[in-house]
Chain A
Amino acid sequence: MKLSKLALVAAAAITAASPILAGELVFPSLSYRTGPYAANGTPVADGFADYFTLLNERDGGIGGVMTKVIECETGYSTEKGVECYESTKGEGSLVYMPLSTGITYQLIPKVTADDIPMLTTGYGRTSAANGAVFSNVFNFPANYWQGASVAVNHILDQENGDIKGKTIALLYHNSAYGKEPIRTLEALAEKHGFDLTLLPVDHPGQEQKSQWLQIRRERPDYVVMWGWGVMNQVAIQEAANIKFPMDKFIGIWWSGSENDVIPAGAAADGYKALTFHAVGTDFPVFEDIQKYVVDAGKAAGTGENVGTVLYNRGMYGAMLAAEAAKVAQKMHGVAEITPSQMRDGLENLVMNDEIAAAIGFGGFGPNFEVSCANHGGPGLAAVQQWDAANQKWNLITDFMAPDMDVIQPLIDEDSAAYAAENNITPRDCN
C-alpha cells in the first residue's frame, strides 16, 4: 500500500515537473539580462517574449497550439550559452536564437548533429548563408558581409558613386564578431579603390583614446563601426569630442540602438546606423502588443522598451520564427511540429507584403524568400539616423541591396572551406 502511494506521488511529481505540457510549441530564448551587456540583452529578450505572449493571448498560439518561451540566462558568455543549449534542447526546443556570434560558432556543429535549427538574425557566421553546407543554420534577413556592403553602397551614394582615394576606417570590437566585415571591406576596397584603415578596440571598449587620436590625426573620410555594448557609447562620445562629422559615422545594426546614442546627448545628433527592420511603433502589431500584452500586465519587462530598436529586433526575430512554424505546420500537416519540421519551415519561409500586412508587420522589414541553397536572404538593409532633439531614429533610405557579386564568391569560398574541414558533403539543392 505504502509502495503504491509512493509510486503515485512519484508519478504526480514527474508530471508536475514535466517542462512541456502537451500541445506546446517551445521557443528557447538564450538571453542576457545580467552582466556588461544587460542593457542591450534585456530589450531584445523582452521583444522576443512579448511577441509569443501576443500570439497566445490574441490567436491562441500558432495553428491552435500554445507557444512557450523558455528563457536561459547566458550573460553573453559563450560557455554559459552552450550550457543553456544543452539544458534546454531536450525540452522540445524548436529553434535556437543565441544572440551572440561567439555562442553561434559553438552551436553550429551541435545543432547540426541534433537536427535542431538555429536562426541568427543579423549576426553569427556569415557563410552559413550557404544552406547546402549549413543545413541547420539560417542567418536571414541580412548578415555582416551584406551589412558591410550596404554601408559602402550608402557611402557611394553620398559621394556620387566615386570613392576612389577616399579613406574608410573600420572601428571594430576585437572579437570574432568585430572581425567579420574585414574580408568584405578589403574586397570592396579593391573594387572601389578606397583605402581601408583597421582600428581594433579591445573588450569591453571603455577606453578608446588611442583609436580616436589616430582618427583625429589621419582624418578618414568615413568611420564604419562594428561595436557592441559600451564600445558604442564611448565611440560616439569620442567622435563628438573630436568633432568628427556624425553623418560620416556609420554603425552596423548592433551599433544603432537608443542605448548607444542617448549617453552622448545632443552631440550624437546625425549619427547613422544600418538596420534590417523598421524603427518606431507605427505598425498595427504594436497596437496589439499594447492591448494584449502591456495593458494586460503580461509584458516581459516594464513596457517602456516597446518600440525601441532592440525591442523591435527581438520581436522581429520572434515573428520570423513564428511564421516559419506556420510554414512547417502547413508543410507537414501537423500542428505540433518537431525541430526537424521547424527546420523545413525556416527553409521555405517567404516574407512578402501580403503576409507581413496580415500579421501587422506591413513595411516593417524587407521582403525575402529562403531556400535550400540560400539561408541568408537577399541581405537588404536600410540606413537610420539619430534625431537627438526628438530622441528618435528615422529611416533615411529604403532597404538597399548589397553587392552580391563581391559577397557571394566569399560565401562560397568560406563555406567550402568549412565543409572540407568538417567532412561535410554539401546537399544537392537543385
Chain B
Amino acid sequence: MSADFYYTIEVIINGLMTGVLYSLVALGFVLIFKASGVFNYAQGVMALFAALTLVGLQNGQIPFAPLINSIFGTNLSTFGWTLPTVVAIVLALGVMVLFAYLVERYILRYLVGQDPVILFMATIGLAYFMEGFGDLMWGADIKKLDVGLPQGGNVWLESATEGWAEGFYGFYIDNLDIWATFIAVVLVIGLMVFSQYTKTGRALRAVADDNQAAMSVGISLRAIWVIVWSLAGFVALVAGTMWGAKSGVQFSLSLIALKALPVLMLGGFTSIPGAIVGGMIIGVGEKLFEYSIGPMIGGATENWFAYVLALLFLVFRPQGLFGEKIIERV
C-alpha cells in the first residue's frame, strides 16, 4: 500500500472524529426540536455559556466581578480557591438546569401554542441575551479549559503504524478526539436508554409524537420543557467542554452552531442517531473533499462543502436521512 492510501485512511478517521464533535452540537438542537418543535437558535450560545460557567467555577472566578467593581469600587476577581473538575461540572450542570427552568418560566410559558417561527424568534433573542449575560458574568477574555483530558497525537498509534509505507509518518489521531468520540457514544447510549426505558423518557417521546394527546393523559408540558432544555444544556456543556479544550473558552465558541446546521439538514431534526450519522458523513465528506479536491481549487472548501453535501441529501430525502416523513392531510 502507498503512503497516499494510508493518508486517505487518516483523513477519513479524522473526519469521522471531527464529525462526532459536530454531532455533539447538533444533538442539543435535536433534543429541543423533537420535544417542542422549536429550532433553538441559542444552542451554540448555550455551549459557550456552559463552558464559560464551567471554567469560571473551576478557577473560582467571582461572577459579575467587573460589574460589582465598577458599582462599588471594589477590586474583586476570584474567590481565591479552585474547584475540582468533577465538582465544577456538577455545578455547571446545575446552572444549566436553572437556566432551563428560567427559560420555561419567563419565555416559553408565554408562547405556548404560538407559531413555531415566533418561538424561533424568541430563541434568537435568547441567544443575544445570553451572549451579553455571559460576558457580564464571566468576562470576554479567553480562558484555558483543562478538564484532565489528554491532548496531542496518540503516540502509540503513530509509532505502531510509522513506516507502513515509504513517506508515511504513521497515523495521526488526536487523543482529545478519541475521548470526545468515547464520550459522545456514552452520551448517545445514555440518551437512548433514558428515552426508551424511563418514565420521563417515555413522556418526552409522547410529547414529541403528539403534545395535545400527551397533555390529555396528564403529562405536564411545562415540566417536559424544563427537562428537555436541561438535557440540551447538558449536551451543550459536553460540546462546549470538548471544543473549549481545543481552543480555549472564548466567544467564538458560539459559532460552532454553524457546523451543526448541515449535520441537522442531513441527519434530520428529530433523530438522535441521525445527528450522529449525519455528523460523521459531514465530517468525512468535508475532510475528504478538502484533501482530494481542495488543493486544486485553492482550499478552504470545508465550510461550504458541508452545506453542498447536506443539500444533495435533501434533494433525495427532504426530511433528512433519519428524519420523520412529513405527511399532512389536506
* A pairs with B: yes
**Cβ < 8 Å to B, chain A residues 265-291:** 265, 267
B107 sits at the interface (CB 8 A):
no
Q: Provide the residues of chain A in CB contact with B77, threshold 8 Å.
A: 302, 304
B84 sits at the interface (CB 8 A):
no
A263 sits at the interface (CB 8 A):
yes
B153 sits at the interface (CB 8 A):
yes
**B172 close to A242 (CB less than 8 A):** yes
Instruction: Return A201 CB to nearest CB of chain B, in Å.
Output: 7
Q: Provide the residues of chain B in CB contact with A37, threshold 8 Å.
A: 251-252
Chain B 134-170 near chain A by CB (<8 Å), digits 1 or 0: 0100001111111000011100000000000000010
A35 sits at the interface (CB 8 A):
yes
Give the size range of A's interface with the partner. 35 or more
**Cβ < 8 Å to B, chain A residues 226-260:** 229-230, 233-234, 237, 240-243, 259
Q: Provide the residues of chain A in CB contact with B259, threshold 8 Å.
A: 206-207
**B300 close to A174 (CB less than 8 A):** yes
Q: How far, in whole Å, are A241 and B174 apart by their CA atoms in the complex?
A: 7
B256 sits at the interface (CB 8 A):
yes
Q: Which 6 A-B pairs have the closest CB atoms?
A: A263-B248, A36-B252, A200-B300, A38-B140, A230-B252, A202-B303
Q: Which residue on chain A has the smallest CB distance to residue B255?
A: A204
A332 sits at the interface (CB 8 A):
no
Binding site for A on B (CB under 8 A): 7, 10-11, 14, 18, 66, 69, 73, 77, 131-132, 135, 140-146, 151-153, 169, 172, 174, 243, 246-248, 250-256, 259, 287, 290-291, 294, 298-300, 302-303
Binding site for B on A (CB under 8 A): 33-39, 42, 174, 198-204, 206-207, 209-211, 213-214, 216-217, 229-230, 233-234, 237, 240-243, 259, 262-263, 265, 267, 297, 302, 304
Report 18 cross-chain contacts, Cβ distance below 8 Å, ordered by A residue: A37-B251, A38-B135, A39-B140, A39-B251, A42-B140, A198-B298, A202-B300, A204-B255, A206-B255, A210-B290, A213-B11, A214-B291, A230-B248, A233-B142, A234-B247, A237-B247, A241-B174, A242-B153
Q: Provide the residues of chain B in CB contact with A240, threshold 8 Å.
A: 151-152
Given contacts A38-B135, A229-B252, A263-B142, contact A207 B302 (CB under 8 A): yes
Q: Provide the residues of chain B in CB contact with A217, threshold 8 Å.
A: 7, 169
Q: Provide the residues of chain A in CB contact with B254, threshold 8 Å.
A: 36
Instruction: Return A177 CB to nearest CB of chain B, in Å.
Output: 14
Q: How far, in whole Å, are A204 and B256 apart by their CA atoms in the complex?
A: 9
Q: Provide the residues of chain A in CB contact with B243, threshold 8 Å.
A: 206
**B246 close to A237 (CB less than 8 A):** yes
Q: Which residue on chain A has the smallest CB distance to residue B132?
A: A34
Instruction: Return B96 CB to nearest CB of chain A, in Å.
Output: 22
Q: How far, in whole Å, are A217 and B66 apart by their CA atoms in the complex?
A: 46
Q: Specify which of B140, B169, B250, B287 is in contact with A210 (CB 8 Å cutoff).
A: B287
Given contacts A237-B247, A241-B174, contact A42 B141 (CB under 8 A): yes
Q: Specify which of A33, A199, A241 is in contact with B140 (CB 8 Å cutoff).
A: A33
Q: How far, in whole Å, are A200 and B302 apart by their CA atoms in the complex?
A: 11
Q: Specify which of B132, B144, B294, B300 is in contact with A263 (CB 8 Å cutoff).
A: B144
Instruction: Return A239 CB to nearest CB of chain B, in Å.
Output: 11
**B172 close to A230 (CB less than 8 A):** no
Q: Which residue on chain A has the smallest CB distance to residue B141?
A: A39
Q: Which residue on chain B has the smallest CB distance to residue A265?
A: B144
Q: Which residue on chain B has the smallest CB distance to residue A174?
A: B300
**A237 close to B142 (CB less than 8 A):** no
**B298 close to A200 (CB less than 8 A):** yes
Q: Specify which of A209, A233, A243, A267 is in contact with B247 (CB 8 Å cutoff).
A: A233
Sample of 9 more A-B contacts, CB < 8 Å, known A35-B251, A230-B248, A263-B142 = A33-B140, A34-B135, A42-B140, A203-B303, A213-B11, A213-B172, A241-B174, A243-B152, A259-B248
